[in-house]
Structure 1
Amino acid sequence: MKLRDKTILITGGSAGIGLEAAKQFLEAGAKVIITGRNQVKLEEAKKRFPSLITIKSDAGNQEDAVLLLKQVKTLGGIDILYNNAGVLSPASNFGVTGDAHYENALNEMNINYLGVIHLNNLFMEMLQSRAESAIINTTSILSYVPLNTEATYSASKVALRFYTEALRAHLQILNSRVKVFELLPPLVATEMTADMDGKKITPENVIKALIAGLRKDRYTIRVGDTKLVYILSRISPRLMSGLMNPKKLNALLK
């Protein structure tokens, strides 16, 4: 897939993986629109990359999504929708049971999964009208092996992975020109994971792998340790679960 002269919309693009993606897509010759909930962060991103178009929008809010579509239409539309926005609620804040856990689970599922479906549905007609277009969904290494302390986040990414595979197959049956890519990063060094221990990959390397995969039309893009976890989880799910959830990590659940 060619990126030069494409228009790309990145949700959750004001920081972390999303902002790095904006940077590298601009360098590849694309026009980039980013969204985010924090106006200050959007303004900071604009200062760093003046050619960015920024729109304040909550990926989990249906009214915001409809308004976003209208705004993007006035800008001439997009060729690529990159569903990058996501939330993770630290288990240490609420455990894995109780009312607080349920409320956080609702938020994770709404933004990480249902919000993606809603945006894809809204933008599908626009994407179908383009000569070459794509949807990119960011799932996770945890869609293969869940982290016990992040049960609902893991579940939201499993749901998104299955949906992504089904959406791709459905569009291929219809001979659609919309390509569906899945990015599966391991633990990434971002603000969202600052309190998490473990080996982390940089957003820069994640996006380098994403762009390389897009250019080669590699629809499933496993980055870093995700490749090994994918293989081992198929060979020995129990072993892989134990490696992902050591005793000191499971102690947080008590």
Structure 2
Amino acid sequence: MNLKGKSILITGGGSGIGLEAAKQFLQIGAKVIITGRNQDKLEAAKKAYPNLITIQSDAGNEDHAYALFDKVKQLGGIDILYNNAGVGVPPINLGLSNDAHLKGAAYEIQVNYLGVVRLNNLFMEMLKSREESAIINTTSILSIVPSLIEATYSASKSALAFYTKSLREHLKILGVKVKVFELLPPLVDTDMVADRKDKKISPEQLVKELIKGLEQDRYTIRVGDSKLIYFFNRFFPKLAFGLINPKKTNATLKS
């Protein structure tokens, strides 16, 4: 896929992976629109990268989604929809027998899964009208093997992974040329996991691998430890589960 000159919408682009993606896409020569809930972060991003177009929007809010579509249409539309926005409720709030668990799960599903489906549906006709277009859905290493302390987050990403594969094949059957990519990051060094001591990769490294995958039309883009976990889960599933859920996890659940 040729990225130069493409118009790209990145949800959750005010910081972390989304902002790094915006930076690297701009360097390639793409036109980039980013969204986010935090207006201060969007303004900071615009100051750092003046060529960015910023739109305040919550990826889990239906009204915001329709307003976002109208604004993007007024700007001339897009060639690539990059569903990067995602949320994870801190594990401490996810006890299996309290109201916070259900609320957290609903929040994660609304943003990480339903919000993506909603935007894909809204932008599909626009993307179909383009000579070359794509959807990028960000799932996770935890869509391969679930984390015991991030059970509902893992479930939301697993739902998105199955949907992404189905969407890709469905469009092929219909003869629609919109490309559907799945990005599977390992743990990435962002504010969302700043307190975690586990092995992490940088957003810069992740986005470089994403861009390489897009340019090679590699529809499933596993990065870093996601490749390893995918292999182990196919042939040694118990080992893969243990790598995602080491013994210290049990101590965390009991505490």
Q: Distance in 2 between matches of 1:16 and 1:96?
A: 30
Matched length: 254
Q: Are the counterparts in 1 of residues 183 and 210 from structure 2 also a CA contact under 8 Å?
A: yes
Q: Distance in 2 between matches of 1:97 and 1:237?
A: 28
Alpha-carbon shift at residue 96 of structure 1 (Å)? 3.6
Alpha-carbon shift at residue 13 of structure 1 (Å)? 0.3
Q: Could you say what secondary structure the match of 1:34 adopts? A: strand
Alpha-carbon shift at residue 173 of structure 1 (Å)? 1.0
Q: Distance in 1 between matches of 2:197 and 2:164?
A: 29
Q: Are the counterparts in 1 of residues 93 and 104 from structure 2 also a CA contact under 8 Å?
A: no
1:6-25 alignment runs, 5 A limit: 6-25=6-25
Consecutive unaligned residues of structure 1, counting only runs of 5 or more, are none
1:164 alignment partner in structure 2:
164
Q: Distance in 2 between matches of 1:97 and 1:158?
A: 22
1:155 alignment partner in structure 2:
155
Q: Runs of 4+ in structure 1 displaced over 4 angstroms?
A: none
Alpha-carbon shift at residue 197 of structure 1 (Å)? 2.3
1:70-109 alignment runs, 5 A limit: 70-109=70-109
Letter in 2 for 1:177: K
Letter in 2 for 1:71: K
Alpha-carbon shift at residue 68 of structure 1 (Å)? 0.3
**More displaced, 3-12 or 238-247?**
238-247
Q: Distance in 1 between matches of 2:216 and 2:96?
A: 40
Alpha-carbon shift at residue 97 of structure 1 (Å)? 3.2
Consecutive unaligned residues of structure 2, counting only runs of 5 or more, are none
Alpha-carbon shift at residue 215 of structure 1 (Å)? 0.4
Letter in 2 for 1:100: A
1:65 alignment partner in structure 2:
65
Q: Distance in 2 between matches of 1:122 and 1:20?
A: 25
**More displaced, 189-198 or 110-119?**
189-198
Residue 174 (str. 1) matches residue 174 (str. 2): yes
Q: Could you say what secondary structure the match of 2:180 adopts? A: strand
Identity across matched positions, percent: 67
Residue 30 (str. 1) matches residue 43 (str. 2): no
Q: Distance in 2 between matches of 1:89 and 1:196?
A: 14
Q: Are the counterparts in 2 of residues 95 and 149 from structure 1 also a CA contact under 8 Å?
A: no
Q: Could you say what secondary structure the match of 2:9 adopts? A: strand
Q: Distance in 2 between matches of 1:244 and 1:217?
A: 29
1:90-139, Cα deviation, whole Å (9 max, x unpaired)? 11234343100110110000000000000000000000000000000000
1:1-254 alignment runs, 5 A limit: 1-254=1-254
Please report the RMSD computed on the Cα atoms of aligned residues, expressed in angstroms.
0.8
1:25-66, Cα deviation, whole Å (9 max, x unpaired)? 000100000000000000000000000000000000000000
Q: Distance in 1 between matches of 2:248 and 2:80?
A: 42
Alpha-carbon shift at residue 230 of structure 1 (Å)? 0.1
Q: Are the counterparts in 2 of residues 96 and 151 from structure 1 also a CA contact under 8 Å?
A: no
Q: Distance in 1 between matches of 2:112 and 2:58?
A: 12
Q: Are the counterparts in 2 of residues 187 and 201 from structure 1 also a CA contact under 8 Å?
A: yes
Q: Distance in 2 between matches of 1:36 and 1:20?
A: 14
Letter in 2 for 1:235: F
Q: Are the counterparts in 2 of residues 92 and 252 from structure 1 also a CA contact under 8 Å?
A: no
**More displaced, 162-171 or 84-93?**
84-93
Q: Distance in 2 between matches of 1:51 and 1:187?
A: 29
Q: Are the counterparts in 2 of residues 96 and 253 from structure 1 also a CA contact under 8 Å?
A: no
Q: Could you say what secondary structure the match of 1:26 adopts? A: helix
Scaled by the length of structure 1, what TM-score is found? Answer: 0.98
Alpha-carbon shift at residue 231 of structure 1 (Å)? 0.4
Alpha-carbon shift at residue 244 of structure 1 (Å)? 1.3
Letter in 2 for 1:247: K
